[in-house]
Amino acid sequence: MDTNNPILDTEDAMDPSRRYGTTDPTNRYKFACKFCAKSTSVGVYQRKQHLVGGFKNCKRCPKCPEHVREEVKNYMIQKEAEKSARTTDNSNVVALDDYDEDDDGVGQGSSKPPPKKPRQKGPLDKFYANKPEDKLKGRKCGKQQTINEVCRKELRDKVCKEIGRWFYDARLLFNAASYDSFHIAMESVAQFVPGFKPPRMYELRVPLLKNEVESTQKVLKD
C-alpha cells in the first residue's frame, strides 16, 4: 500500500473485506482468510471475490458467514455503481474534430498542428443527446456496457424489485411492462447508469411478485 497516499488509505479503510483476513505487511497482495485460513497471493478485488463467491477466477470461501458475503457484495456493487457513474461523467467531455486555428495563421509557423482542445458539454448539448429510442435499438443489436456481470445483476435485481413494488402498489397491469413507452421511459432513467434493462412482464408477474408476497408475509409474522 502507498502509505503516502491518503486517498488510497481511506478507500482501503472503508473496504469491509480487510476486516475478515490478515495482510502481510511486506506484501499487500498476500492475504490470509479469517474464516478458512487459506493464504493466497491475490489482489484486493480477488480478496473480495473469495469472500462473496461466484467468480470463475477465485475460489469461494466455504466458511464465510452469509451476512459477511452480503456486506462485501453490497460494497462491490456500490463501487461498481460509482465507477459506472464516473465513466458516464467522463463521457461528457468530447474532443473537437477540427483544430481551432486563426484564418490568418494557416500555413504559417510550425508545421506541427496544435493539440485538440476538449470541449465541455453545455446546456444546448442535451438537445442533441442520443434519444432513448436510439439507445434501445443499439442494445438490441448487441451493444452493451462492459460492467462486471455479477454486480450488474445485483444492481438490476434491486431496481426491478422497487419497480415491481410500484406496479403492485399502483395496481398496474403486468402487460404495461411490454409497452414501448415503458421501455423508453426506463431507458431515460438508465442513461444515468447505462446498461439497465427494465423488468419483463414475466418477472413482474412471477418471481418479483412471489418475492414481494414472501417479504410481506415475513413482515406480518414479525
**pLDDT tens-digit profile of 122-154?**
443 444 345 555 555 555 555 444 446 777 788
**Residue 167: what pLDDT?**
92
Q: Is the pLDDT score of 71 beyond 60?
A: yes
Domain layout of the chain by residue ranges: 6-85, 128-221
CB atoms within 10 A of CB 5: 11
* Per-residue CA distances from 145 to 51, 87, 138, 190 (Å): 26, 11, 11, 12
- Ramachandran angles phi, psi of 22, nearest 5°: -120, 140
Taking the C-alpha atoms of residue 103 and residue 86, their distance in angstroms, rounded to an integer, is 38
**Residue 7: what pLDDT?**
44
Residue pointed to by grid coordinates 477465485: 58
Residue pointed to by grid coordinates 444546448: 124
DSSP-assigned states of every residue in 152-188 = HHHHHHHHHHHHHHHHHHHT--GGGGG-HHHHHHHHH
Is the separation of the CB atoms in 18 and 45 below 8 Å?
Answer: no
> Which of 15-19, 26-30, 34-38, 97-101 is predicted least confidently?
97-101
Torsional sign, CA 188, 137, 159, 80: negative
**pLDDT tens-digit profile of 172-190?**
999 999 888 888 888 877 7
* Per-residue CA distances from 22 to 18, 49, 62, 205 (Å): 7, 16, 18, 46
Taking the C-alpha atoms of residue 126 and residue 67, their distance in angstroms, rounded to an integer, is 43
What pTM does this model have? Answer: 0.40
**pLDDT tens-digit profile of 156-174?**
888 899 999 999 988 999 9
For residues 82 and 66, which has the higher predicted lDDT (pLDDT)?
66
